[in-house]
Chain A
């Protein structure tokens, strides 16, 4: 089976799990970096790399609050990210139905 039409930014295990996990929250909800890391069982460096790629594509937004050791990084899926995930799922469904 080919991966034609599947968004390559989402079509990678870690990034797919990031997107699906964030999509489980409501719109305008944020998730802390540490909780996301804990849920996905990824190293901080690995997660940062994937988040940066998704953020560069406009699929998610990161926000920092507080200073120093009390700083908190939160992540949220953007409308564009939600739409991209829906499109990815639709393409996946088409690929699967073609089997």
Chain B
């Protein structure tokens, strides 16, 4: 047989019947864990990067508005930093997701496309309402200071949580619910609360999520499972 022996897969002989049951059990565990790691689009590194976006991006905006007694909006540099970090996180997230889903077709791909469409619709809908509120004369402070950093995030998290619930992905569901609660609660504290509390709260939630995903990926899969 032609199994390439340049990885640990080469430890196993490839002749029919030459496999010891104990070795077979070990091979099942190792192969299942490797497959799970490669197919799982959740990445602790991407989650930590997301935490950085909230901590430093939202934190920068909070820093630039924290002394404003009359809300005039965030400084240009803080908005640029926020959107720069969001762009980097989006690129990393897309790369990680693409790597996990390459070659995977059928129901999983259809579900991912449907979830992406639902998430996009939720985000676009929330941003359209933001524009409508401004058009209808709602104050700059509410539209960009309170609504902007929270409601689109709630919409995106709700779409993600729904997908996670349908797939029984509990850490993702927990993250979605945590983001919704944090963002919703922070709106009671005005623009400073909306940017500051959402930033810190979501960063903490993402760090916890990264730990949960790491544990999930490292958890052994018994051969009998």
Q: CB-defined interface of B1-39 with A at 8 Å, one 1/0 digit per residue?
A: 111101101001111111111101101100110111011
Q: Are B17 and A28 in contact (CB under 8 A)?
A: no
Q: Which of B19, B103, B223 contacts A12 (CB 8 A)?
A: B19
Q: Are B106 and A76 in contact (CB under 8 A)?
A: yes
Most buried by B among A13, A24, A25, A40: A13
Q: Are A46 and B2 in contact (CB under 8 A)?
A: yes
Q: Would you give the shortest CB distance from B110 to chain A, in whole angstroms?
A: 9
Q: Would you give the shortest CB distance from A98 to chain B, in whole angstroms?
A: 10
Q: Are B107 and A27 in contact (CB under 8 A)?
A: yes
Residue B105, interface by CB 8 Å: yes
Which residue from chain A places its CB closest to the CB of B4 in the assembled complex? A41
Known contacts being A6-B21, A11-B19, is A16 close to B28, with CB within 8 Å?
Answer: yes
Interface size class of A (residues with CB under 8 A): 35 or more
Q: Would you give the shortest CB distance from A65 to chain B, in whole angstroms?
A: 9
Residue numbers in A under 8 Å from B109 (CB-CB)? 29
Which residue from chain B places its CB closest to the CB of A24 in the assembled complex? B35
Q: Would you give the shortest CB distance from A85 to chain B, in whole angstroms?
A: 9
Residue B72, interface by CB 8 Å: no
Residue numbers in A under 8 Å from B1 (CB-CB)? 14, 46
Q: Are B105 and A14 in contact (CB under 8 A)?
A: no
Which residue from chain B places its CB closest to the CB of A38 in the assembled complex? B103
Q: Would you give the shortest CB distance from A28 to chain B, in whole angstroms?
A: 4
Interface size on B, residues (CB 8 A): 40
Expressed in whole angstroms, the Cα–Cα distance for A22 and B12 within the complex equals 19
Q: Would you give the shortest CB distance from B194 to chain A, in whole angstroms?
A: 38
Residue numbers in A under 8 Å from B19 (CB-CB)? 3, 11-13, 16
Residue numbers in A under 8 Å from B22 (CB-CB)? 1, 96
Which residue from chain B places its CB closest to the CB of A22 in the assembled complex? B35
Residue A58, interface by CB 8 Å: no
Expressed in whole angstroms, the Cα–Cα distance for A25 and B36 within the complex equals 8
Expressed in whole angstroms, the Cα–Cα distance for A89 and B16 within the complex equals 17
Q: Are A32 and B14 in contact (CB under 8 A)?
A: no
Residue numbers in B under 8 Å from A27 (CB-CB)? 107
Residue A68, interface by CB 8 Å: no
Q: Would you give the shortest CB distance from A12 to chain B, in whole angstroms?
A: 5
Q: Which of A8, A13, A20, A23 contacts B3 (CB 8 A)?
A: A13
10 more contacts with CB within 8 A, not counting A13-B14, A21-B35, A39-B35, are A1-B22, A12-B14, A12-B19, A24-B36, A29-B104, A29-B108, A32-B105, A89-B28, A92-B223, A92-B224
List residues of B whose CB falls within 8 A of some A CB. 1-4, 6-7, 9, 12-22, 24-25, 27-28, 31-32, 34-36, 38-39, 102-109, 223-225
Q: Which 4 A-B pairs have the closest CB atoms?
A: A35-B103, A32-B103, A24-B35, A46-B2
